[in-house]
Amino acid sequence: MPFIIVIEFLAVISAAIFGVLLAARKGMDITGVFAVAFAISFGGGTLRDLFLDRHPLFWIANPHYVVAVFIISMAAGLVLRFVTRIKPFLIYPDALGMGLFTMSGTALAMDSGTAWFLAVILGTITGTFGGVIGEIICNEIPSLFRPGPLAATCSFTGAWVYPVATHFGLSAPVSMILGTAVVFLFRLAGLRWKWQFPAVR
């Protein structure tokens, strides 16, 4: 199994967990939980595939991704009753999913022959826009578009690790692991110390 498929599947799992916790925080029923988990898991990657004209879409080509998200969503009702404070748990699957999706998006864009900068942009879209769609479903202004701890900047920075590292001879798996770590740690640091850009007035 190609390493990028492993990364992508782990990204789907992390995003689904984040979606389940986000929907549960909003008090949604099981249908809402699945809708939010589905949107966050597949939204960014779908945009990437459309921009790259990749068919079929990645989650249609890998139907077990959808099955995994469905199972996680259905299990939410059994697990979440034991979680008394949901919000603190959101940051970890959010940061991990962002890193994993950023790397898979960047690597797939590079494999499609795009220039480095475009590959990084597509990686950033893959890593962040699922969350945007999920928050819109939850009737929130997406955190990506309002002052708050850095998000897209973390994804954009980490995405550069892949083309630079592979250019200097590191293997694709090692480059993806390093890039994921950069996004994950940068995101957690931004949340911990509240690094953010000021609002435009």
What local confidence, expressed as pLDDT, does residue 21 receive? Answer: 86
pLDDT bracket for residue 87 (50, 70, 90)? low
Q: Give yes or no for residue 52 having a pLDDT over 80.
A: yes
Distances (CA, A) of 35 to 69, 134, 135, 191: 10, 8, 11, 26
Domain boundaries, the chain: 3-79+86-192
The stretch 7-31 carries a mean pLDDT of: 90
pLDDT bracket for residue 144 (50, 70, 90)? confident
The stretch 116-122 carries a mean pLDDT of: 97
Q: Give yes or no for residue 132 having a pLDDT over 90.
A: yes
pTM value is 0.91
On average, the pLDDT of the chain sits at: 90
Cis bond leading into 56, ω under 30°? yes
The H or E element spanning position 82 is none
What local confidence, expressed as pLDDT, does residue 61 receive? Answer: 95
The H or E element spanning position 25 is helix 3-25
Q: What are phi and psi of 148, to 5 degrees?
A: 175, 180
What local confidence, expressed as pLDDT, does residue 79 receive? Answer: 66
Q: Give yes or no for residue 28 having a pLDDT over 60.
A: yes
Residues 6+ apart with CB under 8 A from 70: 34
Rounded to 5°, the CA angle 68-7-167 comes to 165
What local confidence, expressed as pLDDT, does residue 53 receive? Answer: 95
Give per-residue pLDDT as tens, 150-194: 899 999 999 999 999 999 999 999 999 999 999 999 999 998 888
**Burial class for 124, CB neighbours closer than 10 Å (0-12, 13-18, 19+):** buried
* DSSP tag of 197: P
Q: Which residue has the higher pLDDT, 35 or 145?
A: 35
What local confidence, expressed as pLDDT, does residue 3 receive? Answer: 87
**Burial class for 50, CB neighbours closer than 10 Å (0-12, 13-18, 19+):** exposed
What local confidence, expressed as pLDDT, does residue 197 receive? Answer: 81
